[in-house]
Amino acid sequence: MKYDLKKKIIYSVIMLALLFGMSYVAAFGMKDGYGSIREIKKGLDLAGGVSITYEIKEDNPSAQDVDDTIYKLQQRVQNYSTEAEVYKEGEKRITVEIPDVTDANAILEELGQPGTLVFLDEAGYTKFADGEEYTPLLTGSDVKNALAGTDSSSTTSKYVVSLEFNEDGKQKFADATTANVGKIIYIIYDGKVVSAPRVNEVITGGSAQIDGMESYEEANTLASYVRIGAMPLELQEMRSQVVGAKLGETAIQTSLLAAAIGFVILCIFMIVMYRVPGFVASLSLVIYVALDIFILSIYEVTLTLSGIAGIILSIGMAVDANVVIFSRIKEEIGAGKGTESAIEQGFKKAMSAVVDGNITTLIAALVLYLRGSGTVKGFAVTLAIGVILSMFTAIVITKTIMKLFFNFGCKAEKFYGAVKNDKVIDFEGKKKITFAIPAGIIVAGIVGMIVFSSMGKGAFNYSLDFVGGTSTTVTFNEEMSLADIDANVIPVIKEATGVNSVQQQKVTNSTQVVFKTDELSLSQREALNTALESKFGVNEESIDSQSISSTVSSEMKRDAVVATILAIICILVYIWFRFKDICFATSAIIALIHDVAVVLVFYVFSRTSVGSTFIACMLTVVGYSVNSTIVIFDRIRGAINAAPDKNKIDYKQLVNESITYTLTRSINTSLTTFIMLLSLFIFGVSSIREFALPLMAGIIAGAYSSVFLTGVLWLMLKNVKEKHEQKAAVKEAERIKAAEAEDAKNLSNSKKKKKDKKNNEG
């Protein structure tokens, strides 16, 4: 027995040493910094990147063509990063910004020069070669995507280009291949033949492959031509430059400091509340954060403020999983179990809540990634990575370290704490008050939106990410550091124009700085020019101001809304499947709507800018709230399954007990996440505060709905469902009784007729 214990201790120590060794490698990297925090790709807001401005060749382009071109460019540049931005500048310019790259020429060469793209049959090619007019089989607008790759089944070479057509292009391409089997279709980009594949068969599926390439580079060049040519407008490069981080150096430094402070406070809180398990959780979180950094680095995930939101949520979920487990352990000890048995039972009983809570969030992340775009994709990636890691650390690492501490002698119950669930709070009895409070808040929000709109301020305070603004490029007399710009220039711009928010991007190796603000009137622009001239000696000729469109296009907003709705539907289906009751799923979705509505109300009255982080904030609230709700539902489900006679269950008491027994967990989990956000709010710069503040409101709203709404809503819906089923059962019984009476009557009449017939025959 002692020998087995000795082996367990040795194995545990080895395991722990390996985990911390991996954490060290993850934090500080391997050779050349590979896989370290230094190698994480950062977005435009945190690190800057390459900015390329194109000019539209056509005169008087339609607004629809411009919007379509911007959207297609957005899809194109997401091959480099999901956080790339594309927006209109002035009347005939489109600017592309790609984060965390420094070679503008390489990007230009790979991205290609946008031009016209047409597919011609042999007759059309003859006309094209003779300079005559032709009717193309397809144009670039019919192409959805083109990717280079390899195909071992190809008869000519393994390097191919896979084409995908949109709905219109699918039919056109089917018609074209039908009419040209055995013939050549010419692909012409910007007046030059870039490929001339022969049609081997009719293709009706909307996708095709071009083979015959001698190298991957050749295939990739062709794919690039096809992708960049699939736009309504022709573009010509105007300028390209490397720009600095939007948020500035101070924002990055303070964000890291705030995160570190918040993490330390979080660990102290866990140790105070949960003693040895709290210390174990702190060690697990260190490993979790290190592994998260490692994966973000090696998979080259671009990190932005939206990504940080996903990380904060996943840290909250990692803490939440530990809190659920530790709360169960304390309950088991309070019920008289020994420490070792309590640890085993705590992990076992908490497993379903941990798994279900994480899977619902993982489902949401997957849907958001597949259906979303831009910042939504970035949020989904960091969230998914964090959720998977949080399950691993909670289920594997925390348990391993916990057993190691137990084997080393931390066996006394005092090291783990104990709790007895005696007093039960009547949450159901207080539902009139607890339901009235959020209802009043939401009504006030609707009134506030109407009032602000009537005052001309708008229902929400939209930032330039959503509504566009003014981009002012200033060429200073000497190069300025980011710190100087933050401290000296931005306050002057704010004072001269009266705007509250200014984004700055320093052009690398030059004296130019780009400032982005809300839309400036002519008088505001003149005041800005005067202020820059008097304060910094900048001539008016060195200042170029252009109106810019929003970086979050209408298509991206649509994608975000569709993705969120689909994610909520998938969550509903999963909860319905796991809990075998539509009432659970319905009450969870109602709570989600409540949380989103309360945060929207917060945006209305606080006038916090609604920008690119707004989407991430709302998604974070949804994910966080679902996880808290699952824990309470798991208690209810467990109590129902454990009941010897389900017909004798007092469901009101059961709901009150389930909420009461998880109340400490709900409060502690919300506090741990709130601590991280509060640290960001206190120590961060204004842009970070605008990001943290609504999230804090969302955490409070999510905690409120989980405790006061979801369980009681489930009970109300269950009662309604049962009454409906009882009424249906009564109606069915009455129908059966009436049918039996009718059958009896018909039988009696039949017998009477037979008797009468017999008498008549007699």
Predicted confidence (pLDDT) per residue in 423-432, tens digit: 899 999 999 9
* Three-state secondary structure readout of 435-497: HHHHHHHHHHHHHHHHHHHHCCCCCCCECHHHHCEEEEEEECCCCCCHHHHHHHHHHHHHHHH
Q: Which two tokens stand for residue 624?
A: 């966080």
Tokens 């008016």, residue located: 540
Q: Which fold has domain 469-548?
A: Alpha-Beta Plaits (3.30.70)
- pLDDT tens, residue by residue, 141-190: 788 888 888 876 666 567 888 888 888 889 999 999 999 999 999 998 77
Q: Which fold has domain 49-113?
A: Alpha-Beta Plaits (3.30.70)
CA 363 to chain centre: 11
Q: What is the mean pLDDT of residues 187-202?
A: 86
Question: Is the domain covering 117-230 a CATH 3.30.465.10 domain?
Answer: no
320 close to 669: Cβ distance less than 8 angstroms: yes
d(CA 160, CA 693): 50
Q: What is the mean pLDDT of residues 505-530?
A: 87
In the chain, list all ranges with CATH 3.30.70.3400. Answer: 49-113
Residue 598: band (very low, low, confident or very high) from pLDDT cuts 50, 70, 90: very high
pLDDT of residue 623: 72
Query: How many C-beta atoms surround the C-beta of residue 582 within 10 A?
Result: 14
pLDDT of residue 457: 82
Q: What is the mean pLDDT of residues 484-506?
A: 86
Q: Tell me the percentage of the chain whose pLDDT exceeds 70.
A: 86
12-16, 78-82, 474-478, 532-536: least confident range: 12-16
In the chain, list all ranges with CATH 3.30.1360.200. Answer: 117-230
- Looking at mean pLDDT, say which of 37-46, 461-470, 472-481, 558-567 comes out highest: 472-481
β-pairing, 143-150 vs 138-139, is unpaired
pLDDT of residue 120: 93
Q: Is 60 exceeded by the pLDDT of residue 32?
A: no
- pLDDT tens, residue by residue, 254-276: 767 777 788 888 888 888 888 88
Q: How many CA atoms lie within 13 A of 401 on its CB side?
A: 24
- pLDDT tens, residue by residue, 351-399: 888 888 888 888 888 887 877 766 677 777 887 888 888 888 888 888 8
From the list 691, 715, 729, the residue with the least C-alpha distance to 426 is 715
108 close to 240: Cβ distance less than 8 angstroms: yes
490-527 in b/e burial notation, b at 16+ Cβ within 10 A?
A: bebbeebbebebbbbbbbeeeebbbbbbbebeeebbeb
CA 456 to chain centre: 32
d(CA 602, CA 593): 14
d(CA 645, CA 651): 12
Tokens 């796991």, residue located: 578
Q: Tell me the percentage of the chain whose pLDDT exceeds 90.
A: 16
Q: Which two tokens stand for residue 243?
A: 């720009």
Strand, helix or coil at 137? Answer: coil
In the chain, list all ranges with CATH 3.30.70.260. Answer: 469-548
Q: Is 60 exceeded by the pLDDT of residue 234?
A: yes
Q: What are phi and psi of 557, to 5 degrees?
A: -60, -45
pLDDT of residue 249: 57
Polymer length of the chain: 762
In the chain, list all ranges with CATH 1.20.1640.10. Answer: 2-40+248-415, 428-447+554-717
Any idea which architecture 428-447+554-717 has in CATH? Up-down Bundle (1.20)
31-40, 289-298, 355-364, 390-399: least confident range: 31-40
pLDDT of residue 597: 93
Query: How many C-beta atoms surround the C-beta of residue 730 within 10 A?
Result: 10
Q: Amino acid identity, residue 650?
A: D
Residue 6: band (very low, low, confident or very high) from pLDDT cuts 50, 70, 90: low
Q: How far apart are the first and last CA of the chain?
A: 100
Q: What's domain 2-40+248-415's superfamily in CATH?
A: Multidrug efflux transporter AcrB transmembrane domain (1.20.1640.10)
Residue 1: band (very low, low, confident or very high) from pLDDT cuts 50, 70, 90: very low
pLDDT of residue 600: 93
- Looking at mean pLDDT, say which of 35-39, 167-171, 249-253 comes out highest: 167-171
Q: For 518-626, where are the E strands, in sequence order?
A: 543-548
Strand, helix or coil at 298? Answer: helix
From the list 236, 277, 289, the residue with the least C-alpha distance to 113 is 236
d(CA 159, CA 151): 6
- pLDDT tens, residue by residue, 314-337: 676 678 788 888 888 888 888 888
pLDDT of residue 717: 92
d(CA 44, CA 50): 9
291-305, 461-475, 569-583: least confident range: 291-305
Q: Is 50 exceeded by the pLDDT of residue 3?
A: no
Q: Who wins on pLDDT, 512 or 64? A: 512
